[in-house]
Chain A
């Protein structure tokens, strides 16, 4: 992803943490023993990132063989736990910058939403109202 601005991107790689963080910090956690399951997912087993059932979508499911590590990291950093203690934080590296003039494919948003929502749709303006209520503190 291109970043416009002066601050260099510095979120790549593996960074060990000294202090274990609390379980409610919002960061997904994976035990090191479970990491192999994520790494062993083959291309053919990858999900399309759309149709995760509620059961499948539980955070840090021990048997998340349908998810690749890349898919997990796409949602944010992950803490690796050993013996219940966070020992490292893993983040996705930033993708390569598109070449000048190189088109970035625009997703078929509607088709993807149909895969998630079927033919149902919330009333017009619902999501804008969500944002407004968030800003207004409701």
Chain B
């Protein structure tokens, strides 16, 4: 089963917080490499540098990049059809769940590649994913 990791899940693997252990445990149970996208790269970098302690942010970002280069994750490419799918989602689930463009793109990636599950710690994205029939991992808030 391939699971797509939302950035809210990934950051918890690199910045110690209350859900870090749960995130690590979920990853250990996966039988296939989890999936991410370049959107994850951008959001992880933005989050740790904007919000985190500078020296720890540097370490977190470095470890994430190392894992990425080591093949811990598989990357789902942003193909043109994904943008169109995201646009269509904007007229559907976006309003019901107060989703933003980045939320829609993540959902569109998950749908486009027919991943089995989405791992997220974000309530709005989790509810939207469930409404689209995706299994949501780590949705216990």
Contacts and interface: CB of A to CB of B under 8 A. Distances in A.
B17 A123 contact: yes
A117 B60 CA distance: 10
A12 interface: no
A50 interface: yes
Interface in A54-100: 54, 57, 71, 74-76, 92, 95, 97-98
Contacts of B21: 110
Contact of B12 (A106, A128, A133): A128
Interface residues of A, number: 50
Contacts of B113: 4
Interface string A112-130: 1110110011111111101
Contacts of A74: 62, 65-66, 68-69
Interface in B19-37: 19-21, 23-24, 27-28, 33, 35
B43 A2 contact: no
A39 interface: no
Contacts of B67: 107
A1 B69 contact: yes
Interface SS, B side? helix
A84 B27 CA distance: 44
A14 interface: no
Contacts, number: 163
Nearest to B141: A125
A131 B8 CA distance: 6
Given A75-B61, A121-B18, A130 B33 contact: no
B95 interface: no
B24 A109 contact: yes
Contact of A57 (B11, B28, B59): B59
B111 interface: no
B137 interface: no
Interface of B: 6-8, 11-21, 23-24, 27-28, 33, 35, 43, 46-48, 50-52, 54-56, 58-63, 65-77, 79, 100-103, 113, 120-122, 124, 141
Interface of A: 1-7, 49-54, 57, 71, 74-76, 92, 95, 97-98, 104-107, 109-110, 112-114, 116-117, 120-128, 130-137
Report, nearest first, the 8 A-B pairs whose CB atoms are least far apart.
A124-B18, A5-B77, A117-B16, A128-B121, A128-B8, A54-B55, A122-B17, A127-B11
